[in-house]
Structure 1
Amino acid sequence: MPLLEINLGPLLPHYASEIVMGILLMIVIFVVMQRLVVPRFEQMYDERRAAIEGGMEKAEAAQREAEAALEQYRAQLADARSEAARIREDAKNQGAQILAEMREEAQAESERIRAQAHAAIEAERGQVVAQLRAEVGGLATTLAGRIVGESLDDDERARRTVERFIADLESSPAESERV
Structure 2
Amino acid sequence: MNVELGPLKPEPAELIVGLLCFFLMFWLLGRKVLPRIDRVQAERRDAIEGREERAEGLREEAERIHRAYRQELADARHQAARIRQEAAEQGAAIIAAAREEGVRERDRLVAEANARIAVDQALAAVTLRQDVGELAVELAGRVVGESVSAVAARRDTVERFFDER
Query: Which range, TM-score by smaller chain?
Result: 0.7 to 0.9
Hey, what does 1:169 align to over in structure 2? 161
Secondary structure, aligned partner of 1:14: coil
CA pair 128-61 structure 1, distance change in 2 beyond 3 A: same
For residues 6 and 78 of structure 2, the distance between their equivalents in structure 1, rounded to whole angstroms, comes to 91
Matches within 5 A, 1:17-32: 17-32=13-28
Task: Indicate conservation of the 8 Å contact 2:138/2:147, yes or no.
Answer: no
1:150 deviates by 6.4
Task: Indicate conservation of the 8 Å contact 1:142/1:152, yes or no.
Answer: yes
For residues 60 and 69 of structure 1, the distance between their equivalents in structure 2, rounded to whole angstroms, comes to 14
For residues 77 and 13 of structure 1, the distance between their equivalents in structure 2, rounded to whole angstroms, comes to 88
CA pair 133-23 structure 1, distance change in 2 beyond 3 A: same
CA pair 8-135 structure 1, distance change in 2 beyond 3 A: farther
Total equivalences in the alignment = 160
Task: Indicate conservation of the 8 Å contact 1:141/1:161, yes or no.
Answer: no
Hey, what does 1:128 align to over in structure 2? 124
1:46 deviates by 2.6
Question: Could you list the runs of 5+ residues in structure 1 that have no partner in the other structure?
Answer: 1-6, 174-179
Hey, what does 2:79 align to over in structure 1? 83
Hey, what does 2:52 align to over in structure 1? 56
Mapped pair 1:66 → 2:62: yes
Question: Could you list the runs of 5+ residues in structure 2 that have no partner in the other structure?
Answer: none
For residues 49 and 96 of structure 2, the distance between their equivalents in structure 1, rounded to whole angstroms, comes to 69
Hey, what does 1:176 align to over in structure 2? none
1:170 deviates by 4.7
For residues 161 and 46 of structure 1, the distance between their equivalents in structure 2, rounded to whole angstroms, comes to 140
The correspondence for 1:97, drawn from 81, 85, 93, is 93
- Give TM-score scaled by structure 2 length: 0.76
Matched-pair identity in %: 40
- Give TM-score scaled by structure 1 length: 0.71
Hey, what does 1:107 align to over in structure 2? 103
For residues 19 and 67 of structure 1, the distance between their equivalents in structure 2, rounded to whole angstroms, comes to 67
1:130 deviates by 2.1
Moved more, 16-25 or 137-146: 137-146
1:26 deviates by 1.4
For residues 70 and 64 of structure 2, the distance between their equivalents in structure 1, rounded to whole angstroms, comes to 10
